[in-house]
Homo-oligomer: A and B are copies of this chain.
Amino acid sequence: MKQEKIIAVVGLGLIGGSMAAALRGFEDYTVVGVVRRQETAEYAMSHGVCDRVTLEPMEVLPKADIVYLCMNPRGIVEYLAKYRGAFKPGALVTDVGGVKTAIMEGAKVLPETVDFIGCHPMAGTEFSGIEHSFPTMFQRAHFILTPGEKSTEEHMDLMRRISAHIGCSDVVVTTPERHDAIIAYTSQVMHIIAVAVCDDEDLFQCRGFEGGSFRDCTRVAALDVDLWTQLFSMNAPALTKVIERLEDNLHAYKEAVQSGDTKMLAEKLAWSANRKRQMNLPGPGQIML
């Protein structure tokens, strides 16, 4: 009898639940969810989130060919330390964490025989929990990989096939340090802006005056506090720099508005708007929407 091929998805929350559901049907793998709570297991099975589910990591980790760690960043690092001896020799271990330097560092506890490739699928919502998960979450998203020093081409190719199966637009390979520096800008500071906007004293007076730009900018403010506290604090130096750059750019706009020099303001707006239009053009790593 042919050996069953297994992908274990550890943690079926918003991202893990979506990942498990998206992975179903990937080649000839069986998707096994690993959860802590009986009710999550029941939800997963009754909603077809995975093929099987278990509350006992040791039932599946020693047999899994691929292990997808889908917890919060600190949870991932702790899990790697706790179960470092449990993975099958030759297994590929990966994750979905939004910071990569700390996680790649944490993965150093793994034995030589286990390959860890860091992964960050650039998708999500402002909600949390399996009941908000959905299998199309990763469609058209970037799929970022930070391979380890000993990651094999075979495993990189496997990750590329996973990326295609779950519907990602492209695979971006980078270093953990570069990932964290850029993500501070493209993701973390967007969340800082959203919460800072909601701190405004006029927030509750503005009902009836919001348009699409307000809803879009503040959408992610209703964030998962524990997750984002970890993401921000595990990337604090890079994030601090990006906030400082934003402060400078905002301040320059404040001065342009305040100056009353409409010609200068128009030129400044034209410059920024052109940069955005340039970004919207198709290019490397660019999604066509």
A186 partner residues in chain B, CB cutoff 8 A: 206, 209-211, 214
A209-B144 contact given A225-B270, A243-B257, A246-B200, CB 8 Å threshold: yes
Stretch at the interface among A47-55, A80-88, A277-285: A277-285
Chain A: residues with Cβ within 8 Å of the partner, total of: 96
A239 within 8 A of B: yes
Top 4 nearest A-B pairs (CB, nearest first) are A208-B285, A195-B272, A221-B276, A190-B213
Q: Is the CB of B222 within 8 A of A276?
A: yes
Main secondary structure on A side of the interface with B: helix
A170 partner residues in chain B, CB cutoff 8 A: 208
Stretch at the interface among A34-42, A63-71, A261-269: A261-269
A250-B192 contact given A198-B276, A200-B185, A233-B262, CB 8 Å threshold: yes
A24 within 8 A of B: no
Q: Is the CB of B190 within 8 A of A217?
A: yes
* Per-position 1/0 for A222-263, Cβ under 8 A of B: 110110110011001001101111110111111001101010
